[in-house]
Each structure stands twice: as structure tokens, then as C-alpha cells.
Amino acid sequence: MEHSSKIWKLFFGSGSVTLFNTLRAFVINKLLAVFLPPAAFACVGQFMNWMSIGQATSSLAMQNGWVSLTAQNKDNIKQLHGVWRGGFRLTTFATVFTCVAAIIFCFAAPLEKMLPGVHPRLAQAAILFAMPGILATNMVAICSAVMNGLGLVKRWALIQIVASLFQMIWVAVFLYSGRLSVLSIIATQSVVAGIFAARVAARAGFNIKTFRESVLDIRGPWMSYAVMGLVPMIVAPLVLMFVRSLVGAELGWNAAGIWQGVYKISDFFASIFSAVLGVLILPRISRNMTRESFRKEFYPIFLRMMGFTLVFCVALYFGRSLVVSILLSGSYAAAADYMPIQLLGDFFRSGGWCLGMVLIALRETKAFLIIEVGANLLFALGTFVGIRMFEMQGPMIAYALENFVTLVALAVTVRRLKWNTP
């Protein structure tokens, strides 16, 4: 009974912070939807996918590693500081590489073709502004992950909530003032939030001084987390850009904007359960567990999450027109017609996230990557075929199929994992 109460306390505690982050995503998305027509909204989506790739390559997408490795080593300060030093140095090297690549891309890529309707100079400015913006976003993600791993839930919540507030205010002020282009506003929204997150984490001992004074420089354990994070965070945005471009080419860029709106609603949904699961699962699952202890820890979380997701999906289904008008605007009313199948995919996706977190926590790199990359390729192929067979419903059908197949594959993989024997 006490164990169940603890799970619910963590669930609702992390869920409350995550809902605040979802509010931030809602406010920013709503502002963009009000200010931009669907075609321009689709271009912003393309740019945000570029930023996602930059965030992945600059941080090596090791956020889950910062949580797990911090939690695993927090009782051995010397080892912990060596792990932090190794992670920090790897991230620094990756950030330098990303900045060089971004500058080359900025002046060599055909931006006028990749972002239709956006002046190349504005696109170049946004890419240059994105470099400090990406660094700040990484600071928020890493600092909050470390606080999570240390079990400092109040500091984790403070970083998450205040960072979200800064981002909302930044976007709102500059959109209404018109002093920056929309792309540049999106690129720089995390600058103040990053500074704040670094200050909060520094007071908990996570700072550059700690890295410099550490006699250890442990990098080995990071590589599995880097590969498991980096590959999906590069492949997924590339697939989304492919799907968006395909919808734009086949059905028009207004249709691409409608699809972007539907997918954005799914993103709101995903941000809730992915962040909650990061708090519930990553610090609690380890290779040292027996099969029985894993079942006692994991399956109550899994069943609660699936039940919560089912209720949420049903509620969204019946209120989808209202949801579209609230999250987007009247220009995107058609998105409500495509949400039912997308919601089915969201339900499957939540289960897949639960099972995928287990593979991440146990560093089952090969299995995780095969399933993750295969799922993205299935989504791309399903969209290519689906548009020709079902037109606008094609990407949503492909999304539901991808997540169902992923859920089944992950369930089979987790069932076959080897655990310690008592």
C-alpha cells in the first residue's frame, strides 16, 4: 500500500510540473497559430525540426544518461563527479562541432527552397541565433535531469516551471513587439531560462568548478546513452521533415500546416507522459534488479499510465473540435477531422514510451535502436503509401500503425530481458 501511494505521489507530482510545461507549449503554439497561416506554421515546424537535430548533436541527446548515471552514482561523490566531468566534456566537444556545422549549413544550404516564403536572410539570422538558443535549451535539459537523478525534486520542479515561464514571456513579448522574425524568436526562447537553470543547479553542486576539480574523467558509460538518444533525435526530425514536405508537395502547404497542427496536439500529449515516465522509471530501474522486483516496480506504473492515457484519449476524442480551437485557431478547424486515428496512435505511443524507458535504463542499445529506427522508417513509408491511398488521412494511419508495431516489438523485447537471479 505504501509502495502504491509513493507511485501515485510521484505520478501526480511529476505530472503537475509536466502539465505546466504543456501549458508553455500550448501558449507558444497558440501564439504561433494565431499569428501565422497554416503554410507559415508548417515552415516554423520545419525550422523547429532543424533545431531538434542541433540540440541532439550538441548535447549528444544524453538527457536520459544524466538522470540514470547521476542516480546510480549519487552515493559515491568521487565517481559521480567523474561521470559529470566526462559528460560535460563530451557535450562541449559536440557543441563546438554543431556550431561549425550550423554556420556551414547557414551559408551553403538552399534555404529559400527548404523554407518556402521565408527570406533567406531571415532564415540565416535565425540559424545563427539558434546556436546560443540551443546551448541554453541543453542547459535547461541537463540541469533538470541532474536534479532528477539526485532526487532533488523541488529543484527539478523549479527549473522546469520557471524555465517554462521565461519561454512563454519571451515568445509573447517579441511576437507582439515584432522586433525579431518568428524563426529568430523560436531560436532564442530558452536563453534566459538556460541561465536560470545553470544557477539553480550550481547551488546543488552541479557546476564547472566541480568538473574541473574532479580527478576522474569517466566517459565510457555515456556512449550507450548517446547512441540511444542521438540516433532517434536525428532520425525522427528528418522523418517529420520528409512527411511534412511530402504532404506539402502532394496536398499543398496549407494541408501540411493542418497536419502540423494535428501532430502538434500529439506532441502536447507526448510531452506529458514522456516527462512523467522519465521521473518514474529511469531512476528506479537498473540491471541489478531481479525479474520479480522489476515486475513490482514497473507494471504498476505501466498499468496506471495506460489507464490514464485511455481516459485522456477518450476525452480528447469527444472534445476534439474544442481542443483544436483552443490549442490552434479557427484556421485549423479541419484538423479535428483527422484526430481520431491520431489519438489511437497516441494511445499505443504511451505504452511504447513506458517499455522504451526500460531499455534506456538498462542500456539495451542495440535492441532500442533497431526498434526506434525501424519505427521511424515505417512511419515514413506508411505516409508515402498512405497519402496515395487515403490522401490526408494517410499520415495519421501511418502514425497509428507505427506506434502499434513499436508497442508490440518493445513488449516482446522487454519480456525477453535477462535479470539477476535472487
Question: Which cell goes with 179?
Answer: 522586433
State pLDDT tens for residues 122-174.
Answer: 888 889 988 999 899 899 989 988 888 888 878 888 888 888 889 889 988 88
State pLDDT tens for residues 186-245.
Answer: 889 889 999 999 999 999 888 888 877 777 788 888 887 787 777 777 888 889 889 988
| pLDDT of 1 | 47
For residues 44 and 30, give the distance between their C-alpha atoms in angstroms, rounded to a whole number: 13
| pLDDT of 52 | 85
Question: Which cell goes with 285?
Answer: 530501474
Cα dihedral: 162, 166, 168, 174 (round 10): 180
The closest alpha carbon to 130, from 49, 64, 40, belongs to: 49
| pLDDT of 342 | 92
For residues 363 and 391, give the distance between their C-alpha atoms in angstroms, rounded to a whole number: 39
In the three-class reduction of DSSP (H, G, I as helix; E, B as strand; rest coil), residue 220 is classed as coil
What residue type is assigned to position 144 of the chain?
S
Decide which of 274 and 342 is more confident.
342
| pLDDT of 341 | 93
For residues 192 and 133, give the distance between their C-alpha atoms in angstroms, rounded to a whole number: 9
Decide which of 346 and 178 is more confident.
346
Strand (E) positions, 316-401? none
Decide which of 103 and 12 is more confident.
103
Average pLDDT estimate for 379-391:
93
Question: Which cell goes with 157?
Answer: 520542479
Average pLDDT estimate for 287-295:
78
Q: How far is CA 115 from the centre of its chain?
A: 23
| pLDDT of 283 | 63
**Is residue 378 very low, low, confident or very high in pLDDT (cuts 50, 70, 90)?**
very high
The values of phi and psi at residue 419, to 5°, are: -125, 165
**Is residue 17 very low, low, confident or very high in pLDDT (cuts 50, 70, 90)?**
low
Max CA pair span of the chain: 64
The values of phi and psi at residue 420, to 5°, are: -65, 145
> By the 8 A CB rule, do 346 and 270 touch?
yes
Average pLDDT estimate for 51-65:
82
| pLDDT of 13 | 47
Average pLDDT estimate for 243-263:
88
| pLDDT of 8 | 46
The closest alpha carbon to 301, from 267, 349, 351, belongs to: 351
Question: Which cell goes with 412?
Answer: 516482446
| pLDDT of 112 | 81
Decide which of 120 and 270 is more confident.
120
State pLDDT tens for residues 160-202.
Answer: 888 888 988 998 888 888 777 888 888 898 899 999 999 999 9
In the three-class reduction of DSSP (H, G, I as helix; E, B as strand; rest coil), residue 112 is classed as helix
> By the 8 A CB rule, do 332 and 33 touch?
yes
- Please determine, for residue 14, whether its predicted confidence score (pLDDT) is greater than 60: no
Question: Which cell goes with 191?
Answer: 536563453
Q: How many CB atoms lie within 10 A of CB 368?
A: 24
**Is residue 396 very low, low, confident or very high in pLDDT (cuts 50, 70, 90)?**
very high
Which residue carries 519561454 as its cell?
Answer: 167
- Please determine, for residue 61, whether its predicted confidence score (pLDDT) is greater than 60: yes
- High-pLDDT (> 70) share of the chain, %: 90
What is the distance in angstroms between the CA of the first residue and the CA of the last residue of the chain?
24
- Please determine, for residue 3, whether its predicted confidence score (pLDDT) is greater than 50: no
Average pLDDT estimate for 59-73:
81
| pLDDT of 12 | 46
Decide which of 249 and 378 is more confident.
378
317-to-12, 33, 65, 279, 350 alpha-carbon distances in Å: 23, 21, 35, 28, 16
| pLDDT of 393 | 92
For residues 304 and 135, give the distance between their C-alpha atoms in angstroms, rounded to a whole number: 35
Average pLDDT estimate for 57-61:
80
| pLDDT of 376 | 92
In the three-class reduction of DSSP (H, G, I as helix; E, B as strand; rest coil), residue 363 is classed as coil
DSSP 215: S
What does the mean pLDDT of the chain come to? 83
| pLDDT of 276 | 63
**Is residue 410 very low, low, confident or very high in pLDDT (cuts 50, 70, 90)?**
very high
